[in-house]
Each structure stands twice: as C-alpha cells, then as structure tokens.
Structure 1
C-alpha cells in the first residue's frame, strides 16, 4: 500500500471515530412521552409527585402493580385508605368498577385524575367527560378552585396540556371543587367543572375526580405550579395512600415471549434454575467429552510399491520372459473377474464373447489374443515384445 492510500485510510478512520464519539456524546432528545409512572423522571412522568406523597399521608405509601380488581381482592384493610389514579386515560371494566364502588362504600377514597376516563364506574357515578379536541396544546387553561380562600393557588396552564372537563354530573351527590376556563373556536370564554367530589354510601366514602393529570407531572410541578397540585391532593383525607402504578401509559411491560413465565414467581425461578443447570451441564460435560481429534494419515498401499519394485528388478535384469508371463497372467485374471469368461481356450467363441463384453471389434480382440498366443509359444522374449504387449493390453483396458 502506497503512502497516499495510507493517508486516505487514516483520514477515513479518524472521521469514523469522530462520528462515533459525536453520536455517543451528543445530548439526548427530550422525551415528551406520556408516562405518569412513579419511576420516570421525564417531563410527563410522576417521579417528583410520588416522592412527595408522604406529605399527604403519615403512613408508608403502598404501590399497586396489578389491576385494581386483583389488588383489592388480595388485600384487606383495617383502616380507610386513599387510592390514587393518575394517567392521561383510564378505563375500568365491569369487575374493576364493582371492586372500586365496593371499596368506596366501605369508607375509602378513590382519587382519579385523567384527561379522559370511562367505563362502568363512570356510568354508575352518572358522570360524563368531554375532551376539547380543538387547538390541543395551544389554548391556555385557567384552572380555579371554587373556594375563595384557595384563590392564591389558582394557576393558568399555557402549554403541555390537553383540556377536558365534566360535561354532566349527578348534582344530588356531587360537589364541584374546581373549574377550568378556556376559549372556544370563537374566542369566547367557557367555564366548566374539572374537579369534583362524589359521596358514596354511608361510611363517608368518596370519589374525587379531576381532569388535568398534567398538573401532577414533573414538568408542571417544577414550573411553579406545585401549589395547585398540592391543593388538589389536600382534598383527600389524611390517611394511608395507595399509589396505582398499573394503569399508566408508561408502565413497564415485559414484551418477551416468556412474559407469562417471568410474571409468575414460581415459574420464573424454575426457569432460572433450569437455565443455570443447563449452562453447568454444557461447561462440565463439554470438558469431559471434547478432546483433540488426532490426525490419522491415510494408509499407504504397500502392495503397489512392492509390485513396482519387483517389476523394476525383473526389468533391470533383462528377464523379459518372466515379466511377459506375469503380464499375461494378470490380463487373463482381469478378463475372468471383469467379464466373467473362462480363459482355458482361446477359440473363436472366446474371442467373440470378449469382444462383445469389452466393446471392442472382433478384429482388435483377435489381434490381442493372437499376440498373446504368439508370445506363449516362445521361450525367449525381447524387450520390444514386452513393450508391444504392454501397449496392446493398456489400449484394450482403456477403450
């Protein structure tokens, strides 16, 4: 490789290395994915809120990783609890709705903050939510509390928000705690309820519903709007909180085909033990059976070498008659094994059969047989006769 080629190669290598370093060290783009997960520190995660929840409860924060039906079926509570749901959308099925209603009727509190939530429980509460589909992320929302004493905690959300509100509520058992004011397409202000409380049962159970989950995300809590979120949560009774970490857009889900096995503790450990045992088997069993395979050379045909040596010995001593006799014997043995013919008599019948089976003409075959008979009739032979016999036999075998 010449000098110019080396320089060009070094330059290309340097450029590739530079591009790799630039790709690795460049700042990552901000992730604006809806998450609401307690472990996500992205703008629309709830890491900050989850770590501040102990402000609203004197007890340890409980976390639900299951569907609410499974969680409430497996748990028993001696004291009232507050169950917190925060996500951009929430949908409860029939069994989940019945479990939630029973949970509240037992004297507990359910707090739900979502842009849009629906399902059987909403039908039971006679609540309808309307989402503002026009000018999403553009129309600012003026969120206020109905209590005049909380006026200082009202906030205007100008960005990173989707507006929704309660279109209808059951006025007999619903208390409006807050409102949202936005402009419609005609630039006219519209005010609707976006924060309500619904009393259920005779044990002071209640649903607290809110339509601005963005207020509880890291982005807004660190943007001088923490007072609004804290005021909303202050409407929950001072009791132990259960944080839902299942109904989340950013919930971590195992997408592996082994999801069912890994989600079950017993099956998961059985799988891990089996894989560990298989690895040990491969390591130790492989060492015991895998050995270096020695190279075995092909056996030499000593008979051929011996024959060549004997032939050369006869030839050097000029014993042409002996060699001619051996050549004739080997040829006749070839005829017997190859064409299955008797070689006792060299008559016309023999010649015709040999010609037919060897695919030679009768004249060629007769010439070879006559020459063999001629040599057998003599006692002394010359080198020229040996060479001629060898040519005729080799020609006969090749064609």
Structure 2
C-alpha cells in the first residue's frame, strides 16, 4: 500500500469516527409519534397517566397485554371493574365486541378515549363520531364539561390538527358529560371572522340492566404525557372522576406504540445502544478485512510430539529372540520379570522359593496354594535345566498369564 493510499485510508477512518461521535453526542430528536403506551415517556405516551392512576383506587391497577377477547374471558362475572381503552383509534373485531358487550352487561364499565371508534358494540350504542381536519392551519379546541361547577377545569388544547366529536347520540340512554368548542374560519367571508361550534365529546351510555356503562371520550390527547405535564392535568383528572370508584384495568395491547419486534435486526436497530454497537462491529470488521492482508502470518506446520515406542521396541526385541530360537534367554527374562513383579506387587523376597514363600504368595495374590506351587515348582524346574525349548516357553507363558489373571 502506497503512502497516498495510506493517507486516504486514514482520512476516511477519521471522518467516519468524527461522524459517529457527532451522531452520538447530538441531542436526541423529539419523538412525536402516537403511542399511548404506559411504558413510553415520549410526548404522546401515557407513562405519567398510568403512574398517577395508582392514587385513583385503593386496589392495584391491572394491566392487559393481550386481546380483549383473551383477557375478558378470564375476568370473574361478579367482579366490578373499569376497563380503560385510550388510543388514537380503537378497532374491535366481532369476538372483541361481544366480549366487551358481555363485560359491560355484567355491571362493569368501559372508558374509551379515541379519535376513531370501530366495532359492532360501538355501532349498537347508536352514536356517530365525526372529526374535523383543519389542514395546515392548526387551531385551538376548548374541551369543557356540561356541569357548571366544573367549568373551572375546562382547557384549551392549542395547535389541534384533528378534533373529533359526536354528531349523533341516543338521547334515551346517553348523558352528555363534556363538550368541545371549535373555532371555524368563515372561508366565504374572512372579514366577518369565524363561527363558534360546540359538540359533545364526552358521553355516558347506560348498557344492560346491571349498572354497566360505556364512557366515550373523543380527545385521547388529553391523557398523553405532553398535556399531563403542561397544565392540562386537571381536565384529565376531572374526566376520570366520572368513572366508578372501583378497580381499573389498563389496556396496554390496543396501542399505536405497542412494542412489536419481528426480527433480531429490527430489535437491534430500535435500541440506541445496540444500534451503535452494531455499527461499531461493522466498522471493525471492515478494518479487519483491510489490514488482514498485510498482517497474515505464514501457516506454522503442526509437529506431532515424539511417541513412546518402548512397547514396540520390546515387542521387536522379543520377536528377534523368538525367531533366532534363543528360548533360554527369553525364558530367563520372563522368569526375571515374574519375580520382579512379585517383589514390587506383593513385597515378597524372592531369593528363596520355598514353601513359606509359596504360602505367602498364594495368600497375597488370591490364588490357590496348588496353583502357586505349580508355577513356582515349574520355575525351579526350568532353572535347573540346561536346555530349554519352545514348549517350555509356551508352558511358562500360560502359567504366568493364568497366575496374573486374578490380579
């Protein structure tokens, strides 16, 4: 690699490192996505509200992380609870609608705050929800309550792009608890200003004969962290004050910000720390590939350790003696080996091979006296012979193997 190439490579590496440092140290951008999750601390999450609900009831807040059908089927029929559904939109399938209707019909309550309602159970309440989109020109919408004593808690929600409200309700079973006031520009005559329109945005609907109610609210933004921490918490507290004082169930499944991890790579890239660890690993891999070619060492051959050839050597020597017919030498070495084995294994003196030695050897070797006497007598016999043959060697080997087999 030439000098110019090295300078260019180092320059690129420095630029990459500076870019990474700038990216890590720059302030994190505010995440304005809709979430409504109890775990999210972003502006449109519900972390503040969920933690404040602990003071609402003496009982613990229950949390549902599965579909309404799966969760409500395990709720006891004699329990009295209130289910909270807060999200930008709420869509209920046929099974969920039936489960929710049965849940309220048993005397429980459901609070739904959303810009959009979908589902058979919502349709059965004879309500119609409409929304007004102000386009690029954000406007304010004032949410208030029908009770004069609660007017002090009405709030102006500024910079509203979409405002939802009820244009049709069932007056026989529905009580209007709150309204929203919209300021609409008079497009035809801008000189005359605009008109003030007021619609219901918080209603209470009786359902069934056991004291169950649906509470429908069309401004879920009021319960987000952004509004709870910007002097609008009184409005949210007043809305929730209309609910029965009983145990609450927080739905954390039907949320726009529900965590859905579909692949390991997506999980890594959605976590800031893991994402940068992944990028650093990729950079390290690139640098490794670049520099590896210059630093690759020649393969060192593997040298096998020296083998212990003592056994093979002994076998070869023995074969030479046997092939040359030197049976006497082989027999003498086998007798010497056997007596050495007796001394080291049984700690017996082998200078005198008498009856006393035979008795001790039989006892320590777990052989019978007859077997022990037979091999000792045969060894004495071989020592006394001048000429030894192949049969003597074979017989001695058999007796030694038979004697040592019991060890």
- The interval holding the TM-score normalised by the smaller chain is 0.5 to 0.7
CA distance in 1, matches of 2:241, 2:9: 67
1:178 maps to 178
Structure 2 residue 173 is the aligned partner of structure 1 residue 166? no
Out of 228, 231, 249, the residue aligned to residue 238 of structure 2 is 231
2:203–2:215: 8 Å Cα contact kept in structure 1?
Answer: yes
Describe how 1:383-394 pairs up with structure 2 within 5 A: none
SS in 2 for 1:254: coil
SS in 2 for 1:149: helix
The 1:27–1:7 alpha-carbon spacing in structure 2 relative to 1, beyond 3 Å, is same
1:127 maps to 127
1:394 maps to none
How many aligned residue pairs are there? Answer: 262
1:161–1:214: 8 Å Cα contact kept in structure 2?
Answer: no
SS in 2 for 1:220: helix
2:206 maps to 199
Q: Deviations over 1:23-54 (max 9, x none)?
A: 11111111111000000110000000011111
The 1:137–1:210 alpha-carbon spacing in structure 2 relative to 1, beyond 3 Å, is farther
Under a length normalisation based on structure 2, what TM-score does the superposition of the two structures give?
A: 0.60
Q: Deviations over 1:96-145 (max 9, x none)?
A: 11111111111111000001112101111011100112337712101110
Greater Cα shift, 12-21 or 201-210: 12-21
1:342 maps to none
1:136–1:162: 8 Å Cα contact kept in structure 2?
Answer: no
CA distance in 2, matches of 1:191, 1:126: 20
1:107–1:203: 8 Å Cα contact kept in structure 2?
Answer: yes
Q: CA deviation at 1:94?
A: 1.7
CA distance in 1, matches of 2:10, 2:257: 45
Q: Deviations over 1:306-330 (max 9, x none)?
A: xxxxxxxxxxxxxxxxxxxxxxxxx
1:136–1:163: 8 Å Cα contact kept in structure 2?
Answer: no
Out of 210, 221, 224, the residue aligned to residue 214 of structure 1 is 221
Q: CA deviation at 1:167?
A: 1.2
Q: Deviations over 1:143-186 (max 9, x none)?
A: 11000111110000002562000010000010000000112342
Describe how 1:1-399 pairs up with structure 2 within 5 A: 13-135=13-135, 138-159=138-159, 162-186=162-186, 187-256=194-263
Greater Cα shift, 154-163 or 141-150: 154-163
Q: CA deviation at 1:17?
A: 2.5
1:160–1:214: 8 Å Cα contact kept in structure 2?
Answer: no
CA distance in 2, matches of 1:174, 1:97: 19
SS in 2 for 1:129: strand
The 1:182–1:160 alpha-carbon spacing in structure 2 relative to 1, beyond 3 Å, is closer
CA distance in 2, matches of 1:207, 1:139: 29
1:98–1:121: 8 Å Cα contact kept in structure 2?
Answer: yes
CA distance in 1, matches of 2:301, 2:202: 80
CA distance in 2, matches of 1:78, 1:136: 50
CA distance in 2, matches of 1:95, 1:10: 63
Computed over aligned residues only, the root mean square deviation of the Cα atoms, in angstroms, reads 2.5
The 1:77–1:47 alpha-carbon spacing in structure 2 relative to 1, beyond 3 Å, is farther
The 1:294–1:209 alpha-carbon spacing in structure 2 relative to 1, beyond 3 Å, is same
CA distance in 1, matches of 2:96, 2:77: 18
The 1:197–1:61 alpha-carbon spacing in structure 2 relative to 1, beyond 3 Å, is same
The 1:86–1:4 alpha-carbon spacing in structure 2 relative to 1, beyond 3 Å, is same
Gaps of 5+ in 1: 258-291, 297-399
1:267 maps to none
2:82–2:110: 8 Å Cα contact kept in structure 1?
Answer: yes
1:128–1:166: 8 Å Cα contact kept in structure 2?
Answer: yes
